[in-house]
Chain A
Amino acid sequence: MTGLKKKTALTRAGIIESLQFRLSTAVMLFANLIYLALVYFLWKAIYDSSGVDVVNGMTFYDTMIYLILATAIFNLLEMFIVWDMSRAIQSGEIIMHLLKPMRYRLYTFWSYSGAHVNNFFLSFVPTFIVVVVITKGAIPIGINLLYFMVSLLLALIVNFNIEMLVAPVCLYTQSTWGINIVKETVVLLLSGASIPLAFFPEGLRQAVEYLPFRAVYDIPLTVLLAKNGTDSLSGLLPKLGIQLFWCVLLSVCGNLFWNHAVKKITVNGG
């Protein structure tokens, strides 16, 4: 288990490191409150103007719970690999990462893991508890929480792999800003993080079913809220299967792409 020691050491350092930024946690919470206020009023207006209580099978209440938890997951999963990698490449810092006795992708993943652990306990869990208390029973508390943890872990890996597929693009284009914005928008929209997938027009919703993005937000949220029969194994396993499928496919692609991209550095010197 020597390999594990390398990884947990990175996780531990990540936890210590992100605990150094107390203020940024506070600022993040504040920014979230503003964002959630915006979401609240926006969807309130949408529901008010629709004139019915249930839109696309979701009540206003359902929608709010979904979006608040989606925001909480977003904060938990947020990674800055695209930024970090492009900065490391431009400054040449990437050499120091490449010279660690660990494969770069693994090294990156585990370097971020500490921040994820922190976000989980300092941001996601409190948000979840608040939502549970306020909604008084709208979220079932049971085995679905355990299932959710598995699904969340898979979502994290899928998200990491999406980042790692986009980040090396900056080696070819030299510019990152636009690529990053496109990635963020696409992921947030097509994953169901900003608008629940139930609200998508039928054609688009069908298309999104075949894309990896819903494995990041929609599936874990569905599992957490125990919808679509995901509180039973027969309903759950196909969903986890989809996530697992994307984990494998994207990491194979990501690996191939990275191996090609890293040649840009080792052959052309960055």
Chain B
Amino acid sequence: MSNEVIVMKNISKQFKVLNRHEGLKGSIQDLFSRDYKIIKAVDDVSLTVNKGEIIGYLGPNGAGKSTTIKIMTGVLEPSAGEIFVDGRMPYKDRTANSENIGVVFGQRSQLWWNLPLIESFNLLRNIYLVPEKDYRNMLELYRSLVDLEPILHKPVRQMSLGQRTLSDILAAFLHNPGIVFLDEPTIGLDVSMKARIRELIRGLNEVKGTTVILTTHDMGDVDALCKRIIIIDKGRKIYDNDIEHLKSYFGSYRTLRMRLGDDSWVEQVIDEKKTDVMHVMQEMQKEHKIKDIQLQEISTEEVIRKIYEGGESA
């Protein structure tokens, strides 16, 4: 139990959805219909998360990421399987569980819309029963990580999306929870704000040792923050390992670009398991003059795309 803060064993979640029919006649039929289909949002997923990790939880849209997070936070009850978050079953003990977790859903806010941020903080401090001293210390830490002053006395409804997201992340960490769930925290933000948010998350993780579960579609987030990633697709876990392994998992691809005698560039994607870069260059040199070369590593984004599009498990 020591280090494992989340343990999921064979978790599945099914939803019963009414089969809708088209048109007016169909809609009337639907009123009396018992024709349900079962959707498996999460299908037999097992995983463990250790204390202090930042995990990138990835998958295409509709893969079951949010459903998993909702199960971990206790707002959804799994259809099958066992889950323990800090030794508790979250759906049975939602209120107690929520004292030890922080949540940011990128598209909604837990802040009080009409109140200045500091009042939301005040309120959260009282709801989570944060001791005065810890609260002061946390605000100090926040000040050292981000520029708090411009937003602290601003009503949330007047904030830009970036400021609001920043505020929501700060609010989620305020009671110093053991685990924080960040569901697409950088969605819709500009590059500089994304960078600030990543720095903030990393800083809080380092100082407070908070475990972070991060879902995102932005591979920049993953590269900047996560050592380990978990990928699910169609409800099933298809990858769970270090980010370094990911690139070799799908083959060691690199892209070789060569400028030829007529100044045109040619590109060649090389799988280093089958051949190596020098060999390709030698072959090229037999027929062309090579004036310049560039060698590009395959990006995380490309690997992930190949996985999403391939979809088979390994």
The closest CB in chain B to the CB of A268 belongs to B15
Q: Sort chain B's interface into a size bin.
A: 35 or more
**B285 in the interface, Cβ–Cβ < 8 Å?**
no
Contact B16 A5 (CB under 8 A): no
**B128 in the interface, Cβ–Cβ < 8 Å?**
yes
**A22 in the interface, Cβ–Cβ < 8 Å?**
no
Contact B67 A99 (CB under 8 A): no
Question: Given contacts A93-B108, A269-B67, are A9 and B126 in contact (CB under 8 A)?
Answer: yes
**A10 in the interface, Cβ–Cβ < 8 Å?**
yes
Contact A13 B128 (CB under 8 A): no
- B94 proximity list for chain A (CB < 8 A): 98-99
Contact partner, B95, options A16, A103, A266, A269, Cβ 8 Å: A103
**A265 in the interface, Cβ–Cβ < 8 Å?**
yes
**B199 in the interface, Cβ–Cβ < 8 Å?**
no
- A102 proximity list for chain B (CB < 8 A): 95, 127
Q: Chain B nearest CB: distance from A255 CB in Å?
A: 14
Contact B114 A17 (CB under 8 A): yes
- B187 proximity list for chain A (CB < 8 A): none
Contact A98 B127 (CB under 8 A): no
Stretch at the interface among B72-80, B204-212, B247-255: B72-80
The closest CB in chain A to the CB of B113 belongs to A17
**A95 in the interface, Cβ–Cβ < 8 Å?**
yes
Contact A267 B75 (CB under 8 A): no
Q: Chain B nearest CB: distance from A87 CB in Å?
A: 12
Question: Given contacts A266-B91, A269-B67, are A5 and B105 in contact (CB under 8 A)?
Answer: no
Contact A13 B115 (CB under 8 A): yes
**B110 in the interface, Cβ–Cβ < 8 Å?**
yes
Count of chain A residues with a beta carbon within 8 Å of a chain B beta carbon:
29
**B119 in the interface, Cβ–Cβ < 8 Å?**
yes
Q: Chain B nearest CB: distance from A1 CB in Å?
A: 11
Contact B105 A96 (CB under 8 A): yes
The closest CB in chain B to the CB of A104 belongs to B95
- A10 proximity list for chain B (CB < 8 A): 123, 127
**B4 in the interface, Cβ–Cβ < 8 Å?**
no
| Cα distance, A21 to B126, chains bound together (Å) | 24
**A20 in the interface, Cβ–Cβ < 8 Å?**
yes
Contact B75 A95 (CB under 8 A): yes
- A101 proximity list for chain B (CB < 8 A): 95-96, 98-99, 127-128
The closest CB in chain B to the CB of A91 belongs to B108
Q: Chain A nearest CB: distance from B39 CB in Å?
A: 10
**A92 in the interface, Cβ–Cβ < 8 Å?**
yes
Contact partner, A13, options B76, B77, B123, Cβ 8 Å: B123
Q: Chain B nearest CB: distance from A110 CB in Å?
A: 10
**A100 in the interface, Cβ–Cβ < 8 Å?**
yes
**A6 in the interface, Cβ–Cβ < 8 Å?**
yes
- A93 proximity list for chain B (CB < 8 A): 108
The closest CB in chain B to the CB of A265 belongs to B75
**A2 in the interface, Cβ–Cβ < 8 Å?**
yes
Contact A100 B108 (CB under 8 A): no
| Cα distance, A123 to B224, chains bound together (Å) | 54
- B112 proximity list for chain A (CB < 8 A): 13, 17
| Cα distance, A91 to B129, chains bound together (Å) | 28
Q: Chain A nearest CB: distance from B157 CB in Å?
A: 10
- B98 proximity list for chain A (CB < 8 A): 99-101
Question: Given contacts A16-B115, A91-B108, A269-B67, are A99 and B73 in contact (CB under 8 A)?
Answer: yes
B51-91 interface with A by 8 A CB criterion: 67, 70, 73-77, 91
**B122 in the interface, Cβ–Cβ < 8 Å?**
yes
- A21 proximity list for chain B (CB < 8 A): 114
Hey, what's the 0/1 contact readout for B128-171 against A, CB within 8 Å counting as 1?
A: 11000000000000000000000000010000000000000000
Contact B105 A269 (CB under 8 A): no
| Cα distance, A5 to B75, chains bound together (Å) | 25
Contact A6 B126 (CB under 8 A): yes
Contact partner, B127, options A9, A17, A91, Cβ 8 Å: A9
A233-269 interface with B by 8 A CB criterion: 263, 265-269
- A100 proximity list for chain B (CB < 8 A): 98, 127
Contact partner, A99, options B103, B122, B129, Cβ 8 Å: B103
The closest CB in chain B to the CB of A6 belongs to B127
Q: Residues of A at under 8 Å CB distance from B?
A: 2, 5-6, 8-10, 12-13, 16-17, 20-21, 91-93, 95-96, 98-103, 263, 265-269
What are 16 A-B pairs at a CB distance below 8 A? A5-B126, A5-B129, A9-B126, A13-B122, A13-B123, A16-B119, A17-B115, A95-B70, A98-B94, A99-B73, A99-B74, A99-B75, A100-B127, A266-B77, A268-B15, A269-B76
